[in-house]
Amino acid sequence: MNSFRNKRKIEFDSPETKQMIKRNLNFDLDDSSVMLQPQKLFTYIDESSCDSGFSQINDDISDDDITQASNLEDSFTSSSHNESFNSIENIETEPIASIPTMQEEYSNEKLIGDMTKPHTLPILVKSRHSDLASIEPETLIDLINGKYDDQIGKFVIIDARYPYEFNGGHISGAQSGYFKQDLFDKIFSQPIESPNGKPVILVFHCEFSIERGPKLMREFREMDRSLNTNCYPNLFYPEIYLLEGGYKQFYESNQDLCEPKNYVPMLQDQHRNDMKFFRKKSKTWEFETKKNKSLKVKLDFDF
Protein backbone atom coordinates (compact mmCIF):
# COMPACT_ATOMS: atom_id res chain seq x y z
CA MET A 1 0.00 0.00 0.00
CA ASN A 2 2.71 2.45 1.03
CA SER A 3 4.96 1.42 -1.84
CA PHE A 4 2.18 2.23 -4.34
CA ARG A 5 1.56 5.66 -2.83
CA ASN A 6 5.28 6.39 -2.94
CA LYS A 7 5.58 5.88 -6.69
CA ARG A 8 5.18 8.83 -9.01
CA LYS A 9 3.86 8.49 -12.55
CA ILE A 10 6.22 10.06 -15.10
CA GLU A 11 4.96 10.78 -18.62
CA PHE A 12 7.45 9.83 -21.34
CA ASP A 13 6.42 12.65 -23.65
CA SER A 14 7.35 15.29 -21.08
CA PRO A 15 10.24 17.38 -22.48
CA GLU A 16 11.98 17.37 -19.09
CA THR A 17 12.19 13.57 -18.94
CA LYS A 18 12.80 12.60 -22.57
CA GLN A 19 16.57 12.63 -22.22
CA MET A 20 16.54 10.68 -18.94
CA ILE A 21 14.18 8.03 -20.32
CA LYS A 22 16.09 7.66 -23.56
CA ARG A 23 19.30 7.14 -21.57
CA ASN A 24 17.87 4.68 -19.02
CA LEU A 25 15.67 2.60 -21.33
CA ASN A 26 17.84 2.73 -24.45
CA PHE A 27 15.22 3.47 -27.10
CA ASP A 28 14.47 6.48 -29.26
CA LEU A 29 11.33 8.33 -28.18
CA ASP A 30 10.75 9.32 -31.83
CA ASP A 31 10.71 5.70 -32.98
CA SER A 32 7.36 5.04 -34.66
CA SER A 33 7.19 1.54 -33.18
CA VAL A 34 7.16 3.09 -29.73
CA MET A 35 4.76 5.88 -30.50
CA LEU A 36 2.19 3.41 -31.82
CA GLN A 37 1.41 2.51 -28.21
CA PRO A 38 1.19 5.80 -26.30
CA GLN A 39 -0.76 4.21 -23.48
CA LYS A 40 2.42 2.39 -22.41
CA LEU A 41 4.61 5.45 -22.39
CA PHE A 42 4.97 5.93 -18.66
CA THR A 43 7.02 4.59 -15.78
CA TYR A 44 7.04 4.88 -12.01
CA ILE A 45 9.73 6.46 -9.86
CA ASP A 46 10.08 4.93 -6.40
CA GLU A 47 10.20 7.89 -4.05
CA SER A 48 11.02 5.68 -1.05
CA SER A 49 14.33 4.79 -2.65
CA CYS A 50 17.48 6.19 -1.07
CA ASP A 51 18.30 7.53 -4.51
CA SER A 52 16.25 10.45 -5.79
CA GLY A 53 15.15 8.43 -8.82
CA PHE A 54 16.23 11.07 -11.30
CA SER A 55 19.75 9.87 -12.05
CA GLN A 56 21.09 7.16 -14.28
CA ILE A 57 20.35 3.59 -13.23
CA ASN A 58 23.31 1.25 -12.91
CA ASP A 59 22.56 -2.00 -14.76
CA ASP A 60 26.10 -3.36 -14.81
CA ILE A 61 25.52 -5.77 -11.92
CA SER A 62 23.71 -8.99 -12.76
CA ASP A 63 20.92 -10.50 -10.67
CA ASP A 64 23.11 -13.55 -10.07
CA ASP A 65 25.80 -11.39 -8.47
CA ILE A 66 23.35 -9.79 -6.06
CA THR A 67 21.60 -13.09 -5.27
CA GLN A 68 24.90 -14.80 -4.55
CA ALA A 69 26.04 -12.01 -2.25
CA SER A 70 22.76 -11.64 -0.35
CA ASN A 71 22.48 -15.38 0.32
CA LEU A 72 25.96 -15.83 1.76
CA GLU A 73 24.88 -15.21 5.35
CA ASP A 74 22.03 -17.72 5.03
CA SER A 75 24.45 -20.40 3.86
CA PHE A 76 26.07 -20.50 7.29
CA THR A 77 22.96 -21.92 8.96
CA SER A 78 22.76 -24.83 6.51
CA SER A 79 23.37 -28.26 8.05
CA SER A 80 25.72 -29.10 5.21
CA HIS A 81 27.85 -25.97 5.68
CA ASN A 82 31.53 -26.93 5.68
CA GLU A 83 33.15 -23.97 3.95
CA SER A 84 35.86 -21.99 5.68
CA PHE A 85 35.54 -18.26 6.27
CA ASN A 86 38.34 -17.62 3.81
CA SER A 87 36.43 -19.21 0.94
CA ILE A 88 33.33 -17.13 1.73
CA GLU A 89 35.46 -14.04 2.01
CA ASN A 90 36.84 -14.64 -1.47
CA ILE A 91 33.35 -14.97 -2.93
CA GLU A 92 32.01 -11.78 -1.36
CA THR A 93 35.00 -9.67 -2.34
CA GLU A 94 35.20 -10.94 -5.92
CA PRO A 95 34.83 -8.04 -8.39
CA ILE A 96 31.35 -7.90 -9.88
CA ALA A 97 31.96 -5.18 -12.44
CA SER A 98 34.80 -3.88 -14.53
CA ILE A 99 37.08 -1.38 -12.81
CA PRO A 100 35.96 2.11 -13.81
CA THR A 101 38.38 4.71 -15.10
CA MET A 102 39.21 7.66 -12.86
CA GLN A 103 37.02 9.89 -15.02
CA GLU A 104 33.90 7.80 -14.34
CA GLU A 105 34.63 6.44 -10.86
CA TYR A 106 32.91 9.21 -8.90
CA SER A 107 29.80 11.27 -9.53
CA ASN A 108 27.82 14.02 -7.82
CA GLU A 109 24.96 14.04 -10.30
CA LYS A 110 22.51 12.12 -8.12
CA LEU A 111 20.28 14.27 -5.94
CA ILE A 112 19.97 13.79 -2.20
CA GLY A 113 16.72 12.48 -0.75
CA ASP A 114 14.80 15.77 -0.66
CA MET A 115 15.89 16.46 -4.25
CA THR A 116 17.29 19.90 -3.40
CA LYS A 117 20.93 19.42 -4.41
CA PRO A 118 23.60 16.89 -5.43
CA HIS A 119 25.41 14.83 -2.82
CA THR A 120 28.18 16.54 -0.91
CA LEU A 121 30.47 13.50 -0.84
CA PRO A 122 31.77 11.94 -4.09
CA ILE A 123 29.70 8.82 -4.70
CA LEU A 124 30.62 5.78 -6.76
CA VAL A 125 29.15 5.44 -10.22
CA LYS A 126 29.44 1.65 -10.05
CA SER A 127 28.55 -0.12 -6.82
CA ARG A 128 26.75 -3.23 -5.58
CA HIS A 129 23.56 -1.28 -4.86
CA SER A 130 22.59 1.13 -7.63
CA ASP A 131 19.74 2.69 -5.62
CA LEU A 132 22.06 3.75 -2.79
CA ALA A 133 24.67 6.49 -2.67
CA SER A 134 27.88 4.56 -1.98
CA ILE A 135 31.23 5.99 -0.90
CA GLU A 136 34.70 4.46 -0.70
CA PRO A 137 36.59 4.04 2.60
CA GLU A 138 38.97 6.82 1.51
CA THR A 139 36.03 9.23 1.36
CA LEU A 140 34.96 8.30 4.89
CA ILE A 141 38.55 8.85 6.06
CA ASP A 142 38.48 12.34 4.54
CA LEU A 143 35.19 12.98 6.31
CA ILE A 144 36.60 11.83 9.66
CA ASN A 145 39.74 13.93 9.16
CA GLY A 146 37.74 17.09 8.56
CA LYS A 147 38.09 17.57 4.80
CA TYR A 148 34.38 18.38 4.51
CA ASP A 149 33.98 20.49 7.66
CA ASP A 150 33.21 23.56 5.58
CA GLN A 151 30.26 21.78 3.95
CA ILE A 152 28.98 19.35 6.60
CA GLY A 153 27.95 20.16 10.15
CA LYS A 154 27.81 16.67 11.70
CA PHE A 155 28.08 13.07 10.60
CA VAL A 156 27.06 9.78 12.20
CA ILE A 157 28.42 6.33 11.31
CA ILE A 158 25.89 3.54 11.85
CA ASP A 159 27.16 -0.04 12.09
CA ALA A 160 24.54 -2.68 11.26
CA ARG A 161 26.60 -5.70 12.36
CA TYR A 162 25.75 -7.95 15.29
CA PRO A 163 26.81 -6.79 18.79
CA TYR A 164 29.71 -9.25 19.11
CA GLU A 165 31.11 -7.97 15.81
CA PHE A 166 30.70 -4.35 16.86
CA ASN A 167 32.24 -4.90 20.29
CA GLY A 168 35.12 -6.80 18.71
CA GLY A 169 36.13 -3.76 16.66
CA HIS A 170 34.38 -0.83 14.96
CA ILE A 171 35.12 2.49 13.30
CA SER A 172 35.90 5.10 15.97
CA GLY A 173 32.78 7.01 16.99
CA ALA A 174 30.37 4.66 15.19
CA GLN A 175 27.01 3.75 16.72
CA SER A 176 25.60 0.24 16.75
CA GLY A 177 22.51 -0.10 14.60
CA TYR A 178 21.62 -3.67 15.47
CA PHE A 179 18.89 -2.64 17.92
CA LYS A 180 17.08 -0.87 15.13
CA GLN A 181 14.01 0.30 16.99
CA ASP A 182 16.08 1.90 19.75
CA LEU A 183 18.19 3.64 17.11
CA PHE A 184 15.15 4.93 15.22
CA ASP A 185 13.45 6.13 18.41
CA LYS A 186 16.58 8.02 19.41
CA ILE A 187 17.43 9.54 16.06
CA PHE A 188 13.91 10.49 14.94
CA SER A 189 12.34 11.57 18.25
CA GLN A 190 14.86 14.40 18.40
CA PRO A 191 16.48 14.80 14.97
CA ILE A 192 20.16 15.68 15.03
CA GLU A 193 20.97 19.28 14.17
CA SER A 194 24.31 20.98 13.61
CA PRO A 195 24.94 24.25 15.47
CA ASN A 196 26.03 26.02 12.29
CA GLY A 197 22.99 24.89 10.28
CA LYS A 198 25.09 22.82 7.90
CA PRO A 199 23.84 19.38 6.74
CA VAL A 200 23.89 16.30 8.97
CA ILE A 201 24.83 13.14 7.11
CA LEU A 202 24.68 9.44 8.03
CA VAL A 203 26.95 6.65 6.79
CA PHE A 204 25.71 3.05 7.03
CA HIS A 205 27.70 -0.17 6.78
CA CYS A 206 27.94 -3.78 7.92
CA GLU A 207 30.74 -6.31 7.46
CA PHE A 208 30.78 -6.19 3.65
CA SER A 209 27.92 -3.71 3.07
CA ILE A 210 26.13 -6.35 1.02
CA GLU A 211 23.05 -7.26 3.07
CA ARG A 212 22.57 -5.87 6.58
CA GLY A 213 23.92 -2.35 6.02
CA PRO A 214 21.95 -1.66 2.82
CA LYS A 215 18.79 -3.13 4.38
CA LEU A 216 19.05 -0.90 7.45
CA MET A 217 19.75 2.11 5.25
CA ARG A 218 16.63 1.48 3.15
CA GLU A 219 14.47 0.96 6.25
CA PHE A 220 15.86 4.18 7.70
CA ARG A 221 14.87 6.12 4.58
CA GLU A 222 11.43 4.48 4.57
CA MET A 223 10.88 5.58 8.17
CA ASP A 224 12.03 9.12 7.36
CA ARG A 225 9.62 9.24 4.40
CA SER A 226 6.70 8.02 6.50
CA LEU A 227 7.35 10.65 9.18
CA ASN A 228 7.38 13.37 6.54
CA THR A 229 4.43 12.19 4.44
CA ASN A 230 2.60 15.50 4.80
CA CYS A 231 5.56 17.60 3.65
CA TYR A 232 7.03 15.53 0.82
CA PRO A 233 9.83 15.55 -0.28
CA ASN A 234 11.24 16.96 2.97
CA LEU A 235 13.28 14.60 5.15
CA PHE A 236 14.96 14.80 8.53
CA TYR A 237 18.07 13.20 7.01
CA PRO A 238 18.09 13.73 3.24
CA GLU A 239 21.77 12.90 2.78
CA ILE A 240 22.72 9.33 3.69
CA TYR A 241 25.47 7.06 2.36
CA LEU A 242 26.57 3.42 2.25
CA LEU A 243 30.21 2.52 2.92
CA GLU A 244 31.29 0.35 -0.01
CA GLY A 245 33.12 -2.80 1.10
CA GLY A 246 31.94 -2.39 4.70
CA TYR A 247 34.01 -2.66 7.85
CA LYS A 248 36.26 -5.34 6.40
CA GLN A 249 37.57 -3.15 3.59
CA PHE A 250 37.85 -0.13 5.88
CA TYR A 251 39.76 -2.10 8.53
CA GLU A 252 42.28 -3.51 6.07
CA SER A 253 43.92 -0.13 5.52
CA ASN A 254 42.72 2.00 8.43
CA GLN A 255 43.18 0.06 11.66
CA ASP A 256 44.26 3.21 13.50
CA LEU A 257 40.73 4.59 13.03
CA CYS A 258 39.11 1.51 14.63
CA GLU A 259 38.44 0.79 18.30
CA PRO A 260 39.55 -1.63 19.40
CA LYS A 261 41.96 -2.26 16.53
CA ASN A 262 40.42 -5.59 15.68
CA TYR A 263 38.07 -7.27 13.22
CA VAL A 264 35.65 -10.03 14.28
CA PRO A 265 34.00 -11.72 11.27
CA MET A 266 30.33 -12.64 11.53
CA LEU A 267 31.21 -16.26 10.71
CA GLN A 268 33.97 -16.65 13.28
CA ASP A 269 33.76 -20.16 14.76
CA GLN A 270 33.93 -19.07 18.39
CA HIS A 271 30.88 -16.83 17.86
CA ARG A 272 28.77 -19.37 16.01
CA ASN A 273 26.15 -19.56 18.73
CA ASP A 274 26.09 -15.77 19.05
CA MET A 275 25.50 -15.46 15.33
CA LYS A 276 22.58 -17.91 15.43
CA PHE A 277 21.04 -16.09 18.40
CA PHE A 278 21.23 -12.59 16.92
CA ARG A 279 20.18 -13.77 13.49
CA LYS A 280 17.10 -15.49 14.93
CA LYS A 281 16.28 -12.38 16.93
CA SER A 282 16.54 -10.24 13.78
CA LYS A 283 14.18 -12.58 11.93
CA THR A 284 11.68 -12.31 14.81
CA TRP A 285 11.78 -8.50 14.70
CA GLU A 286 11.35 -8.59 10.93
CA PHE A 287 8.29 -10.84 11.23
CA GLU A 288 6.73 -8.59 13.87
CA THR A 289 7.36 -5.52 11.71
CA LYS A 290 5.67 -7.10 8.69
CA LYS A 291 2.76 -8.21 10.87
CA ASN A 292 2.27 -4.69 12.23
CA LYS A 293 2.41 -3.22 8.71
CA SER A 294 -0.21 -5.69 7.51
CA LEU A 295 -2.44 -4.79 10.45
CA LYS A 296 -2.05 -1.09 9.70
CA VAL A 297 -3.01 -1.62 6.05
CA LYS A 298 -6.08 -3.60 7.14
CA LEU A 299 -7.14 -0.82 9.53
CA ASP A 300 -6.67 1.77 6.79
CA PHE A 301 -9.04 -0.18 4.56
CA ASP A 302 -11.55 -0.68 7.36
CA PHE A 303 -11.79 3.05 7.92
Q: What CATH number is given to the structural domain containing 265?
A: 3.40.250.10
* The total number of structural domains that make up the chain: 2
The answer to whether residues 42 and 85 belong to one domain is no
217 and 93 both lie in a single domain: yes
pLDDT tens digits, residue range 95-154? Answer: 434 444 444 576 667 899 999 999 999 999 989 999 999 999 999 999 999 999 999 999
Confidence of residue 3 (pLDDT cuts 50, 70, 90): very low
pLDDT at 169 over 80: yes
Residue-wise DSSP of 226-290: HHTGGGTT--S---EEEETTHHHHHHHH-GGGEESS----TT-GGGHHHHHHHHHHHHHHHHHHH
Per the structure, the complete domain to which residue 120 belongs is given by 68-271
Do 87 and 196 have their domain in common? Answer: yes
Catalytic site includes residue 206: yes
Using alpha carbons, list the distances in angstroms from residue 90 to 65, 87, 139, 170, 208.
13, 5, 24, 22, 12
Q: Is residue 33 part of a domain?
A: yes
What tens digit of pLDDT does each residue of 237-246 get?
999 999 999 9
Whether 33 and 173 map to the same domain: the answer is no
Per-residue b or e along 190-216, where b marks 16 or more CB atoms closer than 10 Å to that residue's CB:
eebeeeeebbbbbbbbbbbbbbbbbbb
- Whether residues 109 and 160 fall in one domain: yes
* pLDDT band, very low/low/confident/very high, at 286 (cuts 50, 70, 90): confident
Chain centroid to Cα 199, Å, comes to 19
Tell whether 145 is covered by a domain: yes
**This prediction's pTM:** 0.66
What pLDDT, on a 0 to 100 scale, did the predictor assign at position 117?
95
> Which range is least confidently modeled, 7-11, 180-184, 201-205, 298-302?
7-11
- Percentage of the chain exceeding pLDDT 70: 59
Q: Do 30 and 138 belong to one domain?
A: no
To the nearest whole percent, how much of the chain has pLDDT over 90?
55
Same domain, 112 and 240: yes
Q: Is position 293 within any domain?
A: no
Q: Are the C-beta atoms of residues 250 and 243 closer than 8 Å to each other?
A: yes
pLDDT at 190 over 70: yes
According to the model, what pLDDT value does residue 131 have? 93
Q: Are residues 84 and 158 in the same domain?
A: yes
pLDDT exceeds 50 at position 192: yes
Residue 156 has pLDDT above 80, yes or no: yes
- 50, 206, 231, 258: which is the annotated catalytic residue? 206
Identify whether residues 38 and 73 lie together within a single domain: no
Considering the domain architecture, whether residues 152 and 36 belong to the same structural domain is answered as: no
Question: Does residue 282 belong to any structural domain of this protein?
Answer: no
Residue 298 has pLDDT above 70, yes or no: no
Across the range 211-217, mean pLDDT stands at 97
